[in-house]
């Protein structure tokens, strides 16, 4: 992560001393979102069972949304003058998303395993919203959008398991 924070054209933050720290928060979220999108593809290829086709197609929708969110998060970091690292080495070193076993997985297990991981990512970001907002409300808004989208995905996965909405 490179800082280019010496420009006069950078947005002012509620706490300008926190620019690098806010960039670091965005870096962590970026890693998790990229890894979620990789995991989604892995499960897209692994799913078997009666509902496999529907899950297979649905997973590509989720992957597309996670990739878009990753782009928004990365571009917020650059906007603040902090260049994020979205390369595989950074994602492998920093992601907190639990990998899955390589091999075929029944449709309900795919939905369960993915739902658990999406929830974990959303919870970790939610825990940081308060401190991020104290440093930069606009970044907090970006992360609120990420959490809202992930929590919506939790619901869409949960109902596929037959749980109450
Ligand atoms: Fe595909």
Each residue's pLDDT tens digit, 97-131 = 999 999 999 999 999 999 999 999 999 999 999 99
Q: Would 2 be classed as within a structural domain?
A: no
Q: How many domains does the chain have?
A: 1
Ligand 1 centroid to residue 135 C-alpha, Å: 40
pLDDT in tens, 26-84: 999 999 999 999 999 999 999 999 999 999 999 999 999 999 999 999 999 999 999 99
Q: Would 42 be classed as within a structural domain?
A: yes
Q: Would 55 be classed as within a structural domain?
A: yes
Ligand 1 centroid to residue 60 C-alpha, Å: 7
CATH of the domain at 97: 1.20.1260.10
Q: Would 72 be classed as within a structural domain?
A: yes
Instruction: Residue 68: give the domain boundaries.
Output: 18-161
Ligand 1 centroid to residue 57 C-alpha, Å: 8
**Cα separation of 165 and 163, whole Å?**
6
Q: Which residue pairs, CB below 8 angstroms and at least 24 apart, start in 140-144? A: 142/26, 142/72, 142/73, 142/76, 143/25, 143/29, 143/73
Ligand 1 centroid to residue 121 C-alpha, Å: 24
Ligand 1 centroid to residue 59 C-alpha, Å: 9
Q: Would 87 be classed as within a structural domain?
A: yes
**Cα separation of 114 and 143, whole Å?**
20
Ligand 1 centroid to residue 62 C-alpha, Å: 12
Q: Would 9 be classed as within a structural domain?
A: no
């Amino acid at each position: 992560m490179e800082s280019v924070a010496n420009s006069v054209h950078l947005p002012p933050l509620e706490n300008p001393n926190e620019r690098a720290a806010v960039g670091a928060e965005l870096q962590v979220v970026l890693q998790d979102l990229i890894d979620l999108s990789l995991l989604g593809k892995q499960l897209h290829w692994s799913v078997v069972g009666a509902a496999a086709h529907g899950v297979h197609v649905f997973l590509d929708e989720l992957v597309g949304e996670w990739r878009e969110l990753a782009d928004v998060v990365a571009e917020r970091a650059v906007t603040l003058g902090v260049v994020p690292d979205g390369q595989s080495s950074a994602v492998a070193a920093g992601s907190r998303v639990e990998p899955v076993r390589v091999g075929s997985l029944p449709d309900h297990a795919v939905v369960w395993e993915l739902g658990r991981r999406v929830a974990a990512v959303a919870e970790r970001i939610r825990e940081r919203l308060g401190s991020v907002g104290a440093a930069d409300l606009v970044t907090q808004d970006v992360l609120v959008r990420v959490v809202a989208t992930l929590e919506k995905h939790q619901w869409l996965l949960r109902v596929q398991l037959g749980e109450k909405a």
